[in-house]
């Protein structure tokens, strides 16, 4: 609830959407990361105990009114049988199973098939919420037998909104992702280089973070490559923690969101950018097909292939979608050259997010499902 992860952002928005609709949930900001806690025994020796903690992220600088609300809701009284919604990877659902309380697992999966340990977690819940229709087929094909409902991640369309203020004059492509093969960064940089040169007034701005030194090295190699003569401008911003008000500003100072991700369970950055009036250039597959089309963005042709990521063994037996680089490059050129069309698509992109993922719209769905589980 207090973290800068996608799960944290989605959980906060779910609570804020419910609260705005008049429903006060009690929140339990218990995280799913491991922590070693030091204790001192009677003999003076230090004992390390493994526990679970929620990673508090003070760098988010969440506004006072939101922090105060979340703090109050940690103590809000609910009935002993009120359903519990666990918004987390399904591998942790077993920690929250209770005899007299319904468990709703709110999770997501990005590629064609969910691994067995994730499936087992889903089948411990009474029902499963997933944020996109692509997940319905993926979870069923993987062996999830519990009822599954599509409950999109709500987007704060007041926080993420267009702005008239621009801080630079370049046509700006923005991409936001945690560095890894699934996000399709090889296709992104290859297509961008194919589409533009240093003679074009464009910049590709990438906001990312790294889980390993290997990933950081890859990014530095990309930067060095684009420093060569004739290459278009590239900016890679390795920001681990992003302040609450910084993301809207980044989107408001860009023209197009681009992310040829090979698989998405929802993609909060894409929906947030669209709420700011940016059309999206994304693969025509997985979660993107729920809300990106030719009218509000630039769907990219892609091919389904076996997924292989040595740093993510869960996806070695699944499949993902790899963008056609020529089509990706052509869509980037189209967005740059047909600026009026880009603006029109951006306006429709914002309306799409309001209609599909606005607080009021998603809150209605959540309230319906909570009532069905004994709210």
How many residues are listed for the chain in this entry?
Answer: 375
How confident is the model over 157-185, as a mean pLDDT? 90
Give residue 40's pLDDT band: very low, low, confident or very high (50, 70, 90).
very low
Q: What is the pLDDT of residues 211-266, one digit of tens each?
A: 888 889 999 999 999 999 999 999 999 887 778 888 999 999 999 999 999 999 99
Looking at 54-63, 121-130, 168-177, which range is the least confident one? Answer: 54-63
> What is the share, in percent, of the chain residues with pLDDT greater than 90?
74
Domain boundaries, the chain: 6-154+358-372, 171-357
How confident is the model over 120-148, as a mean pLDDT? 95
> What is the share, in percent, of the chain residues with pLDDT greater than 70?
90
CA pseudo-torsion sign 252, 191, 297, 238: negative
Q: What is the pLDDT of residues 269-306, one digit of tens each?
A: 999 999 999 999 999 999 999 999 999 999 999 999 98
Q: Which CATH architecture has domain 171-357?
A: 3-Layer(aba) Sandwich (3.40)
One of 3.40.5, 3.40.50, 1.10.1060, 1.10.8 is the CATH number of 6-154+358-372, namely 3.40.50
- More confident site: 315 or 124: 124
Please tell me the distance from the alpha carbon of residue 124 to that of residue 117, in angstroms, as a whole number: 11
pLDDT at residue number 174: 97
Q: Is the fold of 6-154+358-372 the same as that of 171-357?
A: yes
pLDDT at residue number 57: 66
Which of 70-74, 165-169, 307-311 shows the highest mean pLDDT? 70-74
pLDDT at 152 over 70: yes
Cβ atoms of residues 354 and 162 within 8 Å: no
pLDDT at residue number 196: 98
CA distances from 111 to 14, 85, 150, 316 (A): 24, 23, 16, 10
| Radius of gyration for the chain, computed over Cα atoms and rounded to the nearest angstrom | 21
How confident is the model over 163-180, as a mean pLDDT? 87
pLDDT at residue number 369: 95
Cβ atoms of residues 2 and 8 within 8 Å: yes
User: What are the residues whose beta carbons fall under 8 Å from the beta carbon of 88, sequence distance 6 or more?
Assistant: 7, 32, 106, 107
pLDDT at 36 over 80: no
Give residue 354's pLDDT band: very low, low, confident or very high (50, 70, 90).
very high
How confident is the model over 179-184, as a mean pLDDT? 93
pLDDT at residue number 242: 79
Please tell me the distance from the alpha carbon of residue 141 to that of residue 367, in angstroms, as a whole number: 28
Give residue 56's pLDDT band: very low, low, confident or very high (50, 70, 90).
low
User: What are the residues whose beta carbons fall under 8 Å from the beta carbon of 188, sequence distance 6 or more?
Assistant: 175, 204, 206, 258, 259, 260, 328
pLDDT at 187 over 70: yes
pLDDT at 38 over 50: no
pLDDT at 307 over 60: yes
pLDDT at 161 over 70: yes
pLDDT at residue number 212: 83
Give residue 80's pLDDT band: very low, low, confident or very high (50, 70, 90).
confident
CA pseudo-torsion sign 17, 374, 75, 5: negative
């Amino acid at each position: 609830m207090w973290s800068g992860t996608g799960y944290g952002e989605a959980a906060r928005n779910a609570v804020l959407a419910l609260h705005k609709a008049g429903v006060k949930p009690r929140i339990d900001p218990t995280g799913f990361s491991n922590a070693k806690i030091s204790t001192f025994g009677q003999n003076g020796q230090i004992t390390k105990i493994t526990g679970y903690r929620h990673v508090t992220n003070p760098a988010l600088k969440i506004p006072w009114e939101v922090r105060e609300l979340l703090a109050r809701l940690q103590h809000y009284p609910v009935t002993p049988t009120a359903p519990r919604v666990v918004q987390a990877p399904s591998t942790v659902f077993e920690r929250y199973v209770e005899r007299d309380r319904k468990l709703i697992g709110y999770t997501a999966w990005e590629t064609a098939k969910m691994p067995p340990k994730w499936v087992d977690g889903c089948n411990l819940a009474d029902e499963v919420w997933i944020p996109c229709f692509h997940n319905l087929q993926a979870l069923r094909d993987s062996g999830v037998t519990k009822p599954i409902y599509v409950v999109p991640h709500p987007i704060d369309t007041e926080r993420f909104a267009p702005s008239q203020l621009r801080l630079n004059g370049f046509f700006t492509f923005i991409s936001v992702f945690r560095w890894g093969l699934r996000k399709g960064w090889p296709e992104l940089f290859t297509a961008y280089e194919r589409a533009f040169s240093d003679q074009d007034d464009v910049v590709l701005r990438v906001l990312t973070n790294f889980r390993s030194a290997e990933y950081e090295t890859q990014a530095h190699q990309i930067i060095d490559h684009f420093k060569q003569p004739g290459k278009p401008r590239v900016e890679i911003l390795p920001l681990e923690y992003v302040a609450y008000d910084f993301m809207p500003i980044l989107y408001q100072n860009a023209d197009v969101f681009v992310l040829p991700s090979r698989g998405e369970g929802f993609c909060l950055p894409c929906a947030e950018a669209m709420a700011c009036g940016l059309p999206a250039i994304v693969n025509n597959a997985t979660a993107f097909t729920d809300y990106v089309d030719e009218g509000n963005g630039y769907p990219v042709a892609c091919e389904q292939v076996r997924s292989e990521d040595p740093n993510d063994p869960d996806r070695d037996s699944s499949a993902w979608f790899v963008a056609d680089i020529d089509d990706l490059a052509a869509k980037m050129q189209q967005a740059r050259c047909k600026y009026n069309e880009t603006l029109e698509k951006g306006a429709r992109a914002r309306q799409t997010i309001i209609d599909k993922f606005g607080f009021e719209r998603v809150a209605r769905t959540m309230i319906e499902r909570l009532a069905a589980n004994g709210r």
